[in-house]
Structure 1
Amino acid sequence: MKSDDHLVRTVMLSLKVNSEVYTRLKEVEEEYKQILEDAIDYGLRNNIKSFTRLKAGIYRQERARHPSLPSHYIYTACEDASARLKSFMRRKKEGKTYTDKPELRNVTVHLDDHLWRFSLGEVRIATRKGWVSLKPFFTKLFWKYYNKGWALASESSFKLCKGNVVKLYPVFKKPLPKPYDVKGFIPVDLNEDNVSLLLDGKPLLVETSVKKITLGYAYKRKRISEGRSTKDRDVKRALKSLKERFKKLDIRRKLAKLIVTEALREGKGIVLEDLPKNTPEKMVQDIKDKQLRDRIYKSAFASLKNAIVEKAKEFGVPVLLVNPAYTSSVCPIHECKIIYPPDGSSAPRVGMCEKGREEWHRDVVALYNLLKKAGYVSPMPLGSKESHDPLTVRLGEWLRAKSLHLTLNVNRMMGMTV
């Protein structure tokens, strides 16, 4: 979740309740879903998507239909409907919708400060027949935000699951820190299988192994479903148990924190390519290899960029987004084309400047071009091999590290000979 002047984080608490409490919450969920459907239908009929106009249009009829339900559920359902309609109408303009109206596959009941009460001893939620009490079990993530200056917001939500389980989603908020005056910038270039950056003025390639993960899970899915229908119960269960998305999400979040921490340590900002939303679509336009298209779609360049931007907001690190055009194909010194050998050669990512004849690694040259676009005209001098043979940090060397700087020092020491 995002806010203009606050950082917002949502935590999930899983609560086991008795049958009576579950039944009363189920009644709330069913009536809330009916109100939500009515609000969406009203918005589509009248081309309305604002919360205020939705509430004004349906409040009286919904109050008459649901006299026992606390009235603020109508308010929160209208807010929910407004968000869904705005998203649906935007995607419809882009030609990305496949239905005539938003589908209510999963309903999460939204709560405002009139509908729930929170304390460390219990959580109370308003229902048709009064308040119900839930005994929460707090996670480590909850205590992390609760004890580190984050304020519990007035809004929340809950979702009902099988086995009398209620998932509660409390929200924490914190004012955005003020960005500091930067002493320079750390350029960061995002690629399918690695992220390159300048650390202490030296080019560094941090491997993410996204290509290997994507292909590995593709082969697993093929092996699971080969010769069987994907509607088969065992096949569906086996496919659902795969954790590709969570593994990649973990890598993105940890890498984003390491990069932002280094920028904060050096008192610098971060320069990133301003990748558009439809980056994967443009990249695969002329590619016919299904496996390569799948890899590009699942590389999630924009997701990693957003993870770095969001983490930078949390620490007050300034981020500069620049035009990504020609960052890896133009020499930053002579401003002429870099010629790369064809795929299949011994070093397809190392090219040569047409004018100066120096060698450049594709991911290194992008860093210096990003610096130039940030306002630093003269690139820093490189060592004899750094431009085409940068230091590489493998996934296992940084994934559990507290600092890229320390990881780099350990990597250098391991490479020393006595």
Structure 2
Amino acid sequence: MKVVVQVKLLAEANQAFALRSTLRTVNKAANWVSGVAFEQGVPREYELRKHTYAELKARGLGAQAAQHVIKKTRDAYTTLNANIRAGNYGKPGSKGRLKAESKPVTFRPEAAQPFDDRCLSWQYDAQIVSIWTVAGRLKNVRFACSPDALKMLRAHRKGESDLIERDGAFYLLAVCDIPEPDLYEPDAFIGVDLGIVNIATTSTGYRATGRGLNRHRARQLELRRKLQAKGSKSAKRLLRRRSRKEARHTANVNHIVSKSIVTTAERTGSGIALEDLTGIRSRVRLRKDQRTSLHSWSFHQLAAFLEYKAKRAGVPLVYVDPAYTSQQCSECGHIDRRNRQSQATFACRACGFLANADDNASHNIARKGVAVWTAGRESRVPATP
């Protein structure tokens, strides 16, 4: 499996200037390549290279940098087309889809630029890198990371690394290819019900409440409103300094929750069952005052954290159909919309079973997880006559 390790470059003033100039130059060139691709009907990478490579070299880009700019641009169009086919920009003829299809892809001045081993070399013992820039090769650029990250880089780094600029600092995102352990045969499955009031509720009794996280989001939202309304230089400076603070806090909470669930599954020899919530934001209809909570719900990030942590630990993980998990009684199996009396209360109208609604749903998810695992394990080969 591939894991991305982030290291911070401790660049000196002249090194930072060269790195910043490099990112601006390559992304300006990528915007030009994107315009050419759009005019040519987005040709294949080899054809796009014939139209743009010579000009990129004339602009001062090295051979590898020019190749990466072309590949980055072509990959951006591949992603755009995949999102259009998936309907992520709306239906044909919609405003969002017309906007996406009517203009070339653009790159921010500080957008990530990939570097391979020909234009970026690592020295782990000294914790320095040598990197190509438009001002020449920069040597002895120091970097900082945790001991665990350094150990992972030394043992598993492979492939490209992306250079990015964030709030005036430079980072390298290095890809590490870690061998996956074999999945064990689970004795049972832990059902995980994801939600907004409770971030995660498991069939083993673990509950990660969302009260603190939701309060943090409300405080950040109110502070942003006040600063944006004020509009002064100091307010804008504070907004920049606090940017992504909510995202970092949410990611930290999701890391803690996912680690706890995966550790429990590994210790008990169980698998993990998750609901497949793809497209839930477009399916549900909410009041206006509920939309902020729905669209700030980071269920996809939590599921992604659970998935990669489970892979690293060899824990089986399956996705199940979320249909009726909140309406079905985990004791008798009776399904009725009226069983879910409120956000927190489940009361079965057939057998009288009373439970917390999230606990009940987590047991239904666990049972579905067993069925999905068993169905995937069964052989589909016809029996020998």
TM band (smaller chain)? 0.7 to 0.9
Cα displacement string for residues 146-182 of structure 1 (whole angstroms, at most 9, x for unaligned residues): 325741224223245787x543333332122222222
1:198 alignment partner, one of 175, 197, 203: 203
Question: Please, which of 57, 80, 85 is the counterpart of residue 88 of structure 1?
Answer: 80
Equivalent in the alignment of 2:217: 214
Match of 1:45 in 2: 39
Match of 1:405 in 2: none
Matched residues, number: 352
Task: Please say if 1:167 is aligned against 2:171.
Answer: yes
Counterpart in 2 of 1:295?
A: 293
Answer yes or no: is 1:370 the counterpart of 2:360. no
Cα offset, 1:246, TM superposition: 1.2
**Could you tell me which residue of structure 1 aligns to residue 52 of structure 2?**
58
Deviation at 1:329, TM superposition (A): 0.6
Cα deviation for residue 280 of structure 1 reads 2.1
Whether 2:132 is the aligned partner of 1:126: answer yes
Decide which moves more: 179-188 or 83-92: 83-92
Question: What TM-score does the superposition give when structure 2 sets the normalisation length?
Answer: 0.81
1:102-141 equivalence runs, <5 A: 102-105=105-108, 106-120=110-124, 121=126, 122-127=128-133, 130-140=136-146
Could you tell me how far apart the structure 1 residues matched to 2:32 and 2:115 are?
18
Residue 129 of structure 1: how far off its partner (Å): 5.9
Do 1:211 and 1:299's aligned partners in 2 also have CA atoms closer than 8 Å?
A: no
Unaligned ranges ≥5, structure 2:
90-95, 373-385
Deviates more, 1:300-309 or 1:29-38: 29-38
Matches within 5 A, 1:13-412: 13-19=8-14, 21-48=15-42, 50-63=44-57, 65-66=58-59, 68-93=60-85, 94=87, 95=89, 96=96, 98=99, 100-105=103-108, 106-120=110-124, 121=126, 122-127=128-133, 130-140=136-146, 143-148=147-152, 150-159=155-164, 166-194=170-198, 195-199=200-204, 203-209=205-211, 210-226=213-229, 228-229=230-231, 232-242=232-242, 243-276=245-278, 278-283=279-284, 285=285, 287-290=286-289, 292-338=290-336, 339-340=338-339, 349-375=344-370
| CA shift in 2, pair 1:331/1:157, >3 Å | closer
Shift of 1:27: 4.9
Q: Which residue of 1 aligns with 2:6?
A: 11
Instruction: Rate the CA distance shift 1:322–1:376 in 2: closer, same or farther, 3 A.
Output: closer
Structure 1 distance, partners of 2:134, 2:220, is 46
In 1, the alpha carbon distance for the partners of 2:291 and 2:52 equals: 46
Coordinate RMSD, CA, aligned: 2.7
Report the counterpart of residue 378 of structure 2 in structure 1. none
Q: Deviations over 1:114-135 (max 9, x none)?
A: 1122113331123456422133
Taking the aligned partners of 1:370 and 1:126, their CA distance within structure 2 comes to 51
Higher helix share: 2
Q: Distance between the aligned counterparts of 1:324 and 1:341, measured in 2? A: 15
Q: Secondary structure of 2:206's partner?
A: strand
Report if aligned partners of 1:28, 1:127 keep a CA contact under 8 Å in 2: yes
Displacement of 1:259? 0.6
Partner of 1:393: none
Matched-pair contact (CA < 8 Å) for 2:327–2:340:
no
Q: Could you say what secondary structure the match of 1:12 adopts?
A: strand
| Residue of structure 2 in register with 1:398 after alignment | none
- Deviation track 1:20-71 (CA, whole Å, cap 9, x = no partner) reads x4454455434422431232123222333754443344223433x23x5321
Deviations, residues 249-285 of structure 1 (Å, cap 9, x unaligned): 1000111111111111111110000111x322322x2
Structure 1 spans left out of the alignment, 5+ residues:
1-5, 378-418
| Shift in alpha-carbon separation, 1:8–1:54, aligned structure 2, 3 A | farther
CA distance in 1, matches of 2:233, 2:37: 38
* Percent identity for Structure 1 against Structure 2: 20
CA 1:41–1:185 in structure 2 vs 1: closer, same or farther (change >3 Å)? same
For the Cα contact (< 8 Å) 1:146–1:152, is it kept in 2?
no
